[in-house]
Chains A and B, each alone.
Chain A
């Protein structure tokens, strides 16, 4: 699976949009971009995933550049409960097993 690069930490004011970038310049055509987050002392939680089109669900939006070398996770109105470590993961489609390769992630702090 391709490697990802994320900033170590970010701050965001409560109520503002949080934009979390991820670089995956070696991504191949059959690899999806996944985002998970881990709130302190809990197991990771799935947020969203995409291949090449922008995706939106009730939690977030995922914007993938046209060349697919980078993406941005957007939390439209960050709350204090969004404070967590966010992981950007690249995973092959049709993989024979559900394996996630986690990097260091971005520690997002939502400030009141």
Chain B
């Protein structure tokens, strides 16, 4: 079956703009999590959605938001982009919270100039 699909793969934005990233989980998976990966901070949890509800949130400012649709697809939005938002944004899907394994997408590489 198809894996986790993230679009776009690469993105260049200007400071102050906003951006929306998309994640399509594995079919049947209801949990979608988002992570930010930077060289300095490593992999950090952003938030998790389950059945269209945000179930958990990491320590990121309110400029970072997300949502999940009824088909489990998820989007994350970053408003008022800063240079420090340049990162690899990874999406992971799992069947449910009790799942033993999460499947990650290839990520979206965001560069803010």
Contacts and interface: CB of A to CB of B under 8 A. Distances in A.
B55 A46 contact: no
Contact of B42 (A45, A96, A102): A102
Contacts of A49: 100
A98 B48 contact: yes
Contacts of B102: 46, 98, 100
B20 interface: no
A109 to B, nearest CB: 18
User: Which secondary structure dominates chain A's binding surface?
Assistant: loop
Interface in A66-112: 87, 94-105
A44 B90 contact: yes
A43 B105 contact: yes
Contact of A97 (B42, B55, B104): B55
B6 to A, nearest CB: 8
A98 B104 contact: no
B42 A46 contact: no
Given A99-B48, A102-B42, A46 B101 contact: yes
Nearest to B46: A99
A67 B55 CA distance: 33
A11 B3 CA distance: 31
B56 interface: yes
B107 interface: yes
A56 B100 CA distance: 15
B43 A44 contact: yes
11 contacts: A38-B43, A43-B92, A44-B104, A46-B100, A98-B48, A98-B94, A98-B96, A99-B56, A99-B58, A102-B35, A102-B43
Given A43-B104, A96-B97, A100-B35, 6 more contacts: A43-B105, A44-B104, A97-B56, A97-B97, A98-B96, A104-B42
Interface of A: 38, 41-46, 49, 87, 94-105
Interface of B: 4, 31, 33, 35, 42-45, 48, 50, 55-56, 58, 90, 92, 94, 96-107
User: What 9 A-B pairs have minimum CB-CB distances, sorted nearest first?
Assistant: A43-B104, A102-B43, A97-B56, A46-B101, A97-B55, A98-B94, A97-B48, A44-B104, A98-B97
